Amino acid sequence: MNASISAAELDRPLIAVRQLHVRFGRQEVLRDINLSIPRGQTLVVIGESGCGKTVLLKTLVNLVRPSSGEVIFDGRRLDRLGDRELTQQRIRFGFVFQSAALFDSMTIGQNVAFPLRQHTNYRAGEIQEMVLARLAEVGLPDSVTAKKPAELSGGMRKRVGLARALVMNPELVLYDEPTTGLDPIMSDVINELMIRTRRNHPVTSVIVTHDMLSARKVADRVVMLHPVARLKPGEPQVVFDGPPSALDRCGDARVRQFVHGEAGERLMEMRSAAAG
């Protein structure tokens, strides 16, 4: 951990989410979310499609602004920062997008170097060394630097996205469906890389996924969201918050059905809605 971090800062959660609500027009996506994420924790957010997982991820770094409530990062409310201050805070984040979100017109080397060229004054040789080190860390050879994203497989592009997210040594790494679209072997490669990242760097991670194998393997803590539209009045949106080992013991049927991929009651709900 960074030696400049005081004992008081270490005791303070890196992220605190308080009474968070997000609406788009009349559609309520997140309702009264309260979370405290300690430094160094790997938090996995699960839940069916449309429950607001990715919106929550983007709200944590103020890519989506809260309709009400607050997100506090390292003691500061992000929605109250000016553009310059917010840009400085975002340098402390790394974001691994679902589709890798690489720049098609740039080489792999240029993609990974992009944050360094935007936010630092390192010389070209220093940037090259950092790029090669990060690519090696995710298991990619130097030879990929001259290639374009279209020349790489989906798994390789995901690893390039991870290398780019790590190149600025972020304190917080956000992963949006990091194993989606990958075969089981490559999915496990990504899982191992996420675990290795946590071991090698003082990083806090928030991972959105549908992949329960991944969730069980990488998480210190799992939070499950339920779609607001299917909640009863006053019912909390977070229906599970605990270690992955407790998922199978959860008494909430919604959690058990999601974890085990059981569609029975959900099919009945869909039929009732269609009939109504």
Position 243 scores a pLDDT of 97
In order, the DSSP letters of 211-238 are -HHHHHHH-SEEEEE--GGGSPTT--SE
pLDDT grade, residue 2 (50/70/90)?
very low
Class of the CATH domain delimited by 1-39+47-90+210-276: alpha beta
Dist CA 69 CA 164 (whole Å): 31
Q: What is the pLDDT of residues 146-161, one digit of tens each?
A: 999 999 998 899 999 9
pLDDT surpasses 70 at 271? no
Q: What is the pLDDT of residues 168-194, one digit of tens each?
A: 999 999 999 999 888 999 999 999 999
Q: What is the pLDDT of residues 189-233, one digit of tens each?
A: 999 999 998 888 889 999 999 999 999 999 999 999 999 999 998
Dist CA 146 CA 57 (whole Å): 32
pLDDT grade, residue 275 (50/70/90)?
low
Q: Are 255 and 239 in contact (CB under 8 A)?
A: yes
Residue bearing tokens 């001259």: 146
**Domain limits of the chain?**
1-39+47-90+210-276
Position 266 scores a pLDDT of 57
Position 160 scores a pLDDT of 95
Q: Are 253 and 265 in contact (CB under 8 A)?
A: yes
Name residue 131's amino acid.
V
pLDDT surpasses 60 at 272? no
Position 3 scores a pLDDT of 46
Position 88 scores a pLDDT of 86
Position 86 scores a pLDDT of 87
Cα angle for residues 229, 236, 246 (degrees, 5° grid): 115
pLDDT grade, residue 115 (50/70/90)?
very high
Dist CA 110 CA 132 (whole Å): 11
pLDDT grade, residue 246 (50/70/90)?
very high
Segment 267-271 shows an average pLDDT of: 56
Question: In the chain, which residue ranges form alpha helices assigned H by DSSP?
Answer: 7-11, 53-60, 83-90, 108-119, 124-137, 154-166, 184-200, 212-218, 253-260, 264-275
pLDDT grade, residue 83 (50/70/90)?
confident
State how far the alpha carbon of 109 is from the alpha carbons of 103, 128, 144, 201, in Å.
11, 8, 8, 22
CA nearest neighbour of 194 among 121, 155, 138: 138
pTM, whole model, 2 decimals? Answer: 0.88
State how beta strands 42-46 and 221-225 pair: parallel
In order, the DSSP letters of 23-38 are EETTEEEEEEEEEEE-
Position 4 scores a pLDDT of 52
Percent of the chain with pLDDT over 70: 91
**Residue 98 tokens, joined:** 């679902």
Position 99 scores a pLDDT of 76
Dist CA 58 CA 71 (whole Å): 11
State how beta strands 204-208 and 172-176 pair: parallel
Q: What is the pLDDT of residues 47-79, one digit of tens each?
A: 998 899 999 999 998 999 999 999 999 999 988
CA nearest neighbour of 268 among 227, 211, 230: 230
